[in-house]
Structures are given as C-alpha cells and as structure tokens.
Amino acid sequence: MTNLRNKIPQPLAQEFIKTIRLLALSGKTNFRKFLIDPLMFAGWEREKSHSAQTSGKIIDKIQSDSGDPAYVHTIGLHCKRLVSHALSENLSAVGDSCIFFLEKIQEQETVAESREAVEFFSIIEKPIAEFRELNRTKSEKLFEDSIKNFSSEELKTVLEPVKLDTHRQKVYLDTEVHRLYNMILTATKSNDIPKCIKLLSSYIIKFSDSEDYNFQEVENLISALEKRDPVFREKLRDSLAIELYYLITKGILEGNLKKAIQGIRKYAHIFEGDPNAKYYYEIDGLERKLYGIIREKDMMKDIKKGI
C-alpha cells in the first residue's frame, strides 16, 4: 500500500511527528530500532565528513530559503540530505531532522508530493506503526495499573477539574483566548490552511470546555475555510484527535495521570462518542478502564460532581 502513495497526507505527517516524540520518550534502544536502524538499512546514512556544518545549521538554511517560491521544489531533497547528515551525528539530531522534514511535509504540498517524502515514509512507516502498537499496549497497561494503585484520595485529586482560583489566572486565560483567536484570524486571511488547522486545534483543545469558548465563531471560521478546502473539517478533526491522543499518552508515560485524564475528558467533550473519530477505540478503552476502577472502588457517588 505504501508503494502506491504519491503524496503524504497532512494528518499522517502530524501523526508521525507525535509518534517520533513518544519514541524519543521511550528510550535509546527503541529510538534506534524503530527509526535510526530502518533509515540506515535503507542507505540514508552519509559517510562522516569533517565539515563544520551541523544538522542545526542545515535546518536554519532550509528554513530561511523555504520562503522563496523558486526554492520550494528542492526542499524535499535538502530534507533528505539533512536526515542523512543527522544520522552521522547523534540521536537528538536525527529526531529533530525527521520532525523538521515532517513539518515541511505538513506545511507545503510540493514537499508532501516530493519523491524524497514518499521514500522517507516508505522506509519508516512500518517500523513506526510497530512502535505505535507496542506503545499503545504499554501505555494502556501502565494507565490501568497506576489507577488501580491509587488510594481513593489520590484518585479524587487526579479527577478534580481544573479551577481558576484567582483573578490573575482568569485574566490570563481571557488574554490567551483572544491572542490565539486573533492568530487564527490572521492565518485565515493569509489562506495558510496548515497553520489554521494547527491554531484551531490548539484553541479548541484549550478552551472548548470553558466559558470563554465561542462555539459559533469557531463554526463560522470552519465553514469559511471549508469553502477553500472542502475537507478542512475532516483534517481539523484528525488533527484534534492526534493532538489529544499524544497529550494523553505522554501524560501516562510521564506519570502525569491528571494530564492524561484531562485529555480523555476533552476528547469525550469534543467528539461526543463518535466511533468514526480517530483514536476513538483507544481512548474509549482508557475511559472504560478508568470508570471501571472507579466503580470497583465504590467511589462514583463521592466524585460524581467532579466528573
């Protein structure tokens, strides 16, 4: 199936960015096995050079040149050379270079359609999928074990909703809402669809369950953007699901269950039980485990107001 692909979809690039970040959290052994080794086996590693140029400097050069329309068609090739160069440096350089390449695929269709982007995905798609499944199983088990080991009081604490207790916090939230919304309007006017998706995803995740969220204005923006890109709403929903799944999984792996549970609730609020939503079954499974343990501990009455 990978061999038939001639363009990398934006949501897939976003999903790979998040998975590589999780891969980095999982340790050096997994990082080598699921990302570095496949790239080296495919012959992407360059011979070590004595050049003073680092992958960081190459990233800066590609970034500065990418604003030039005459240069766009060469970005895929330069990103391949970047990843190749990083393979002779260190793990961090490889991760940063791969993520940079994926970000460029998200941002520009020309890069997403490049031969180098298609080749890149043909190399890493299978191992990344293997890691994702391994990580899913691990995080589900870790989540369940952590919740089971919590005392009633600890569980009540992680289930408490976020409260803004001070005037300063409320003023900050109000300022943040308007700042992010204005950035979305600017991106909309410049017709930067990938940036609109990114900013709207952030806005919806942060504020859709707060009093300051303007549902109708967001709907108006989405409708306007659908006229420019008929599948904009679908892309946005995929982006929201990917971001939330990453936040939830990262929270579990870092032992921050409050963050993970907030993500589960936000997902439930945004997608309203839609089984067609991306990651529905994975996140629904976590939610079922959570409430199953709450019932086992006979805590439903005690924490009902907080849920």
Question: For position 274, what pLDDT does the model report?
Answer: 94
Domain identity same for 122 and 183: no
Question: For position 156, what pLDDT does the model report?
Answer: 78
Kindly tell me if the per-residue pLDDT of 1 is higher than 50.
Answer: no
Question: For position 2, what pLDDT does the model report?
Answer: 44
In this structure, what token pair is assigned to residue 258?
A: 């409050």
Percentage of the chain lying above the pLDDT 70 cut: 88
Cβ atoms of 304 and 158 closer than 8 Å: no
Domain identity same for 274 and 234: yes
Question: For position 282, what pLDDT does the model report?
Answer: 95
Whole domain around residue 20: which residue ranges? 2-135
CA dihedral sign of residues 16, 17, 18, 20? positive
Question: For position 174, what pLDDT does the model report?
Answer: 62
Give the position of tokens 């079954």: 281
Question: For position 23, what pLDDT does the model report?
Answer: 97
Domain identity same for 47 and 116: yes
pLDDT tens readout for residues 98-154: 999 999 999 999 999 999 999 999 999 999 999 999 999 999 999 999 988 887 777
Region 254-262: what's the mean pLDDT? 91
Domain identity same for 125 and 191: no
Number of other CB atoms surrounding residue 128 within 10 Å: 20
Domain identity same for 167 and 123: no
Single-letter amino acid, residue 190:
S
Domain identity same for 119 and 37: yes
Domain identity same for 225 and 265: yes
Question: For position 58, what pLDDT does the model report?
Answer: 93
Domain identity same for 195 and 130: no
Q: What is the mean pLDDT of the chain?
A: 87
Domain identity same for 220 and 91: no
Question: For position 6, what pLDDT does the model report?
Answer: 87
In a domain, 140, yes or no: no
Domain identity same for 104 and 158: no
In a domain, 224, yes or no: yes
Domain identity same for 98 and 155: no
Domain identity same for 161 and 295: yes
Region 90-103: what's the mean pLDDT? 96
In a domain, 144, yes or no: no
Kindly tell me if the per-residue pLDDT of 279 is higher than 90.
Answer: yes
In a domain, 145, yes or no: no
Measured in whole angstroms, how far is the alpha carbon of residue 96 from the centre of its chain? 15
Domains identified in the chain, total number: 2
Single-letter amino acid, residue 90:
N
pLDDT tens readout for residues 145-196: 998 888 777 777 777 765 545 555 555 556 666 777 778 878 777 778 888 8
